[in-house]
């Protein structure tokens, strides 16, 4: 079907007659309660047919007209955006830039800057969105970015986290905005691994002074989880599909934004309450177990550990370290810890294992409080998502120990 459509497209005629229309997709900021930006997406017009951008650019590449098509699309996008800025001077326009033209020696010709100036637009309102995997000429890419940054344009790096994203070029691009690929955002509310990857990208963005956009948001839960992980802006079908600017229902967008803000606020309050209750429960269990262990000699540890592991529903593994961080007891696991995990890579630490470099050891010993609770992580003992709480105690023989309890918090 695609090949058949491509064969019927007269790309030369489309470019000559400027038969290009621009669709716009909103990019939403919930924390600022605003429509922060639009991304411009081109469509070709060939008679009554609407030609999607991938077909357009495939045809342009075949005819060596990529640069001409790219410039025409940017021109149309800027013209459409100019009419929007009358109501908001802070709004941004995301312009896709086909970085493959950089390999042809097109570096900072000034065409885009001239087009922006002619429409009395401010370069600081224009985001040049680059998928850097389409160019192999890194020095030319750097020259292009430096040139347009000096003009005042904003630079976004697209498809971060996709299969081809080249993170080592971050130092070259030095983006102002990172756009996280929709493959990572899809079902992010259900997949812990995606959550951790996005969280690490958000932390990276904070350290390099960049904002983060989550692409491909299709459900309310994806939006909420993205916001919870620190994403600054949201884009996707949940808010609106790309469409002609005249077709956008701004009132509906405002209502959806307001609704999401309310749901997100309640989500955070509920999450904090649940986390506090879980933390209090884990801490109470640890204190009670440490108290029991402090009343017996070390030879009585195993009986207490086994009883707790098999009677407390949230305890997955429990073990005791000596004061130097070496595991003193065996790791006692609950009956269900390995029911769904048979992979040989997940197994509990054995007696004699050195835990002295683990945060739940050295922070419990060194923070002056005698207790520490880790962030959620995937346990190497069972493969489940858990948090470890550790607490120091002294037994009846005057020996110092650290109790460690792995508490399961979710199935992965």
pLDDT digits (tens, 9 = 90+) for 228-266: 999 999 999 999 999 988 888 889 999 999 999 999 999
- Specify the pLDDT at position 337: 54
- Specify the pLDDT at position 246: 84
**Res 336 pLDDT > 70:** no
Q: In the chain, what are the domain boundaries? A: 2-248, 275-410
Alpha helices in 17-52 (DSSP H): none
Residue in this structure with the two tokens 């292009």, named with its chain if needed: 144
- Specify the pLDDT at position 107: 61
pLDDT range class, residue 211, cuts 50, 70, 90: very high
- We find that the CATH architecture of domain 2-248 is Alpha-Beta Barrel (3.20)
**Res 131 pLDDT > 90:** no
pLDDT tens profile 265-322: 999 999 999 989 999 999 999 999 999 999 999 999 999 999 999 999 899 999 999 9
pLDDT tens profile 10-55: 899 999 999 999 999 999 999 888 889 999 999 998 877 889 988 9
Cβ-based neighbour number of residue 350 at 10 Å:
10
How far from 305 is each of 139, 259, 335, 408, CA to CA, in Å? 61, 48, 13, 16
Of 183, 180, 177, 182, the residue nearest 210 (C-alpha)? 177
Contact 355, 380 (CB under 8 A): no
pLDDT range class, residue 338, cuts 50, 70, 90: low
Of 133, 178, 176, the residue nearest 153 (C-alpha)? 176
- What is the Cα–Cα distance from 49 to 64, expressed in whole angstroms? 23
Angle at 137 (CA atoms; ends 134, 141), nearest 5 degrees: 80
Contact 253, 237 (CB under 8 A): no
Two structure tokens written together for 193: 């691994």
- Specify the pLDDT at position 159: 83
pLDDT range class, residue 7, cuts 50, 70, 90: low
Beta-carbon contacts of residue 199 (< 8 Å; ≥ 6 apart): 229, 230
The highest-confidence range among 123-137, 209-223, 355-369, by mean pLDDT, is 209-223
- What is the Cα–Cα distance from 134 to 81, expressed in whole angstroms? 26
**Res 79 pLDDT > 50:** yes
**Res 97 pLDDT > 50:** yes
Which long-range CB contacts under 8 A does 43-46 form with residues at least 24 apart? 44/9, 44/11, 44/14, 44/19, 44/20, 45/14, 45/19, 45/20, 45/21, 46/8, 46/9, 46/10, 46/13, 46/14, 46/19
- Specify the pLDDT at position 127: 97
Phi/psi-derived region of residue 233, left when phi > 0, alpha when psi is between -120 and 50, beta in every other case: beta
Average pLDDT, the chain: 88
Please give the average per-residue pLDDT across 117-136, as a whole number. 87
pLDDT range class, residue 412, cuts 50, 70, 90: very low
**Res 88 pLDDT > 70:** no
**Res 110 pLDDT > 50:** yes
**Res 101 pLDDT > 80:** no
Q: Which strand (E) or helix (H) includes residue 321?
A: strand 315-322
Of 47, 35, 44, the residue nearest 81 (C-alpha)? 35
- Specify the pLDDT at position 38: 95
**CATH fold for the domain made of 275-410:** Beta-Lactamase (3.30.450)
- Point out which residues pair with 391 in neighbouring strands: 371, 403
pLDDT tens profile 160-179: 877 655 677 787 788 999 99
């Amino acid at each position: 079907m695609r090949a058949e459509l491509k064969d019927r497209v007269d790309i030369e005629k489309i470019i000559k007659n400027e038969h290009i229309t621009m669709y716009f997709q909103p990019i939403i900021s919930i924390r600022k309660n605003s429509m922060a930006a639009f991304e411009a997406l081109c469509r070709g017009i060939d008679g009554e047919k609407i030609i999607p951008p991938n077909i357009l650019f495939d045809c342009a590449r075949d005819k060596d007209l990529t640069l001409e098509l790219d410039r025409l699309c940017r021109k149309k996008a800027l013209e459409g955006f100019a009419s929007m800025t009358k109501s908001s001077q802070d709004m941004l326009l995301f312009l896709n830039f086909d970085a493959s033209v950089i390999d042809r020696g097109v570096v900072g010709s000034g065409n885009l800057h001239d087009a922006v100036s002619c429409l009395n637009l401010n370069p600081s309102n224009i985001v040049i969105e680059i998928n850097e995997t389409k160019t192999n000429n890194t020095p030319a890419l750097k020259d292009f970015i430096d040139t347009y940054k000096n003009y005042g344009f904003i630079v976004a790096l697209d498809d971060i986290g996709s299969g081809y994203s080249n993170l080592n070029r971050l130092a070259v691009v030095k983006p102002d905005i990172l756009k996280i690929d929709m493959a990572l955002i899809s079902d992010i509310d259900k997949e812990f691994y995606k959550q951790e990857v996005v969280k690490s990208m958000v932390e990276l963005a904070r350290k390099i002074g960049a904002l983060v956009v989550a692409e491909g948001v299709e459900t309310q839960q994806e939006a909420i989880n993205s916001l919870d992980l620190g994403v600054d802006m949201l884009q996707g079908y949940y808010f609106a599909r790309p469409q002609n600017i005249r077709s956008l229902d701004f009132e509906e967008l405002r209502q959806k934004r307001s609704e999401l803000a309310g749901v997100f606020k309640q989500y955070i309050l509920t999450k904090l309450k649940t986390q506090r209750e879980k933390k209090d429960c884990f801490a109470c269990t640890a204190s009670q177990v440490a108290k029991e262990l402090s009343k017996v000699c070390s030879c009585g540890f195993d009986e207490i550990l086994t009883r707790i592991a098999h009677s407390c529903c949230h305890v997955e593994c429990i073990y005791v370290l000596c004061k130097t961080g070496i595991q003193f007891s065996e790791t006692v696991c609950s009956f269900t810890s390995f029911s769904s995990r048979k992979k040989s890579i997940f197994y509990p630490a054995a007696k004699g294992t050195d835990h002295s470099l683990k945060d739940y050891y050295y922070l419990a010993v060194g923070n002056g409080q005698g207790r520490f609770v880790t962030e959620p992580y995937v346990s190497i003992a069972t493969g489940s998502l858990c948090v470890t709480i550790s607490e120091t105690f002294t037994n009846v023989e005057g020996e110092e120990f650290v109790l460690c309890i792995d508490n399961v918090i979710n199935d992965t």
